[in-house]
Structure 1
Amino acid sequence: MTYTSDQRFISVHNPHTEDWILKIRFPQRRDSGIYECQVGTTPPIGHRMYLSVVEPLTTILGGPELFINTGSTINLTCVVQHSPEPPPAIRWTHNDEEINYDSPRGGVSVITEKGETTTSHLLVQRAKAPDSGRYTCAPANANPRSVLVHVLSGEHPAAMQHGGQLRLQYPLSAALLSVIVTLMGC
């Protein structure tokens, strides 16, 4: 018997054993707390346990805005944590349209690693101005998360100079060239 008026809670008895199971449909964070199972004896025998309900968390690393140089690779990493099981699917969209990995544009791919923490990497090679916009990572069993990507041409465009945190991805070759020039100058 379950002592609550909340219809999401139901106790189930396995007729072949003496086990009782408490099932909570659509668990919510507010359901976290101490639960007690009591046996109707005199005096009552009870077993208390703590239930912690966690909500899956979706993040896109480096967000909420990224600034990418034209010709660079857009590399977006979506991380899903605290999910009871890995998401069966993760959908990526660009400006609310599902990304087509086989489009004539080419150079667009996704790599997803499922586990206790699931990561999905969206790669868009040879970024161009039309690749700018809002990218959304939408796991099947967690809330979606978005990031705004700006594809820039030139070294110091005015778009980079507004307030907020700046994240700029450089092509790998430019970073290596910078390191080589620095080392040769020493």
Structure 2
Amino acid sequence: MEDKYKQCLMMERTDDETPRFRRHRIVQVTLHEPAYLHCIIPQFSHNLHKPIFRFHSKIIEVAWTRVSDEALLTAGESSFTSDPRFQVSVKSSNADWVLIIRRSEKSDTGCYLCEVNTEPKSTVYAVYLNVIDSLFFLKLCSISIPERTTRLMANMIGDEVLLNCTITVTNESNSLDDEVQWSRDGRPIDFSNSNKYISKVKRDSRTIIHTLRILGASSEDDGNYACRAVDAPESSHMLHVNSSKLTLFKK
């Protein structure tokens, strides 16, 4: 896989050395799990709340393609593939265009390109996806991955609900990934709705705390909230908001 990964990165055309994006250059998921391929474009963050935006009076568009068959998967927020597993989600707060592959298959393994039609030439970000068998993943975990724990806590301040997802690793020499997947009733939280959801991250060498703030919380926000990180178990709570009072039910 290393050679294919290197070949994938050679297709990149960008001067961006942002560490946060570079961590997402390779994505590994188990078979039939969803895959999230990130395309963070910080230099356009003030304009990327729309699928098509302007930069220096030029209309800019973001597109995802699959290298193996040169298929155009998405352009803006529109899908150009008949495969319903593929969709794009835009996180305007950090200019992150996420290609989502529901129920990933082994055949999805390969190189994906995120292209932005900048001047004088397009900017291209490369992401390599590796889909592995569940049994191989379990064997890999038992050999090389340190024990990780996930704990989800919730409280209410005024009309805001705060969910703190704490991920801890027992071995200080092993780093923690900055990403966590938030969901409500099994569906990803839509962080493009910044009037409703705000996320923050705090970390040290062994612990990382992801905080999800739900603004103006009401009974309409009731549901099962869960957080999940790479190589760490999922933790969830059933939340019920009633008259500015929060009730928790551990699932």
- TM-score normalised per structure 2: 0.37
Greater strand content: 2
More relative contact order, 1 or 2 (CA 8 Å, 6+ apart): 1
What TM-score do you get using the length of structure 1 for normalisation? 0.49
* Structure whose CA Rg is larger: 1
